[in-house]
Structure 1
């Protein structure tokens, strides 16, 4: 292919524009995040760094989250996990700089480095792609075949059961 100097310049500019936003081309600006809980069926609420809810649902779930939250601003999310009978949990989700963004330095893409990748959010990548959380019970569940202890006031004890009570030595009125 024999190109004159003007055609070569035009071709060089065209190639530079096409590859000027490396992270946008080779990476993505939305990432899937898989969330699993044990036991399943927990209520999930994902909030962004502005404390706005971006997702509500139950586990297990796969949620697609944007990597950027504004010009040169990476996303940060908090997963709120709750289920009756279990302790509530809050798990942070972080993004970091995508290596493809730095490729703009070598290809000469000032347009990609200063405008395209920062606006699309492609300059950021998800650090965690999978969250597996074991929910902790809030209290021990006692079944009918297990023994339990219940502390009550003496006035609440029926008269027929009072005769079976054993006084503790050194306790009581003297």
Structure 2
């Protein structure tokens, strides 16, 4: 699997099962969103989006941390947000069973002259 942030930067890659610690905040009053891409040879890739949400404990600042915790500390540290604790994806049936073929991307320079002559422009 591979995890990317809002900017498309890979923040972690590994094999399942795995435990990964991610930052829930992106900046001042801004939560983070991650995209998990599960990959397995012979199966179509699956993606899952992890979006941060406001933590219920953030409102505890009214009682415990006061205005400083609510307006400065938690928004700056990202502590006001939480991410789902678990993510998974059903990889479905193997491509061989469904008859689907994975998308193959090639470079025109790798084609023979005969293959180039058969190309059809798509608008």
Quick check: TM above 0.5?
Answer: yes
Query: Which is higher, the Rg of structure 1 or of structure 2?
Result: 1
Q: Secondary structure at the match of 1:115?
A: helix
In structure 2, how many angstroms separate the alpha carbons of the residues matched to 1:129 and 1:102?
20
Name which of 129, 134, 156 aligns with 2:85.
129
**Following TM superposition, by how much is the alpha carbon of 1:108 offset from its aligned partner in structure 2, in angstroms?**
6.5
Please state if 1:64 is matched with 2:13: no
In structure 2, how many angstroms separate the alpha carbons of the residues matched to 1:132 and 1:46?
12
Name which of 66, 74, 86 aligns with 1:109.
66
Unaligned runs of 5+ in 2: 99-123
Higher relative contact order (CA 8 A, sep 6+): 1
Unaligned runs of 5+ in 1: 1-43, 142-174
Q: TM-score, normalised by structure 1?
A: 0.52
Counterpart residue number, 1:12: none
Q: CA RMSD in A?
A: 1.6
Please state if 1:89 is matched with 2:46: yes
Change (3 A) 1:78 1:108: closer
Counterpart residue number, 1:76: 33
Q: TM-score, normalised by structure 2?
A: 0.72
Give the structure with the higher percent strand.
1
Q: How do 1:23-34 and structure 2 match up within 5 A?
A: none
Counterpart residue number, 1:167: none
Asked if the contact 2:3–2:10 (Cα under 8 Å) also holds between the matched residues in 1, the reply is: yes
Counterpart residue number, 2:108: none
In structure 1, how many angstroms separate the alpha carbons of the residues matched to 2:85 and 2:63?
28
In structure 2, how many angstroms separate the alpha carbons of the residues matched to 1:108 and 1:52?
34
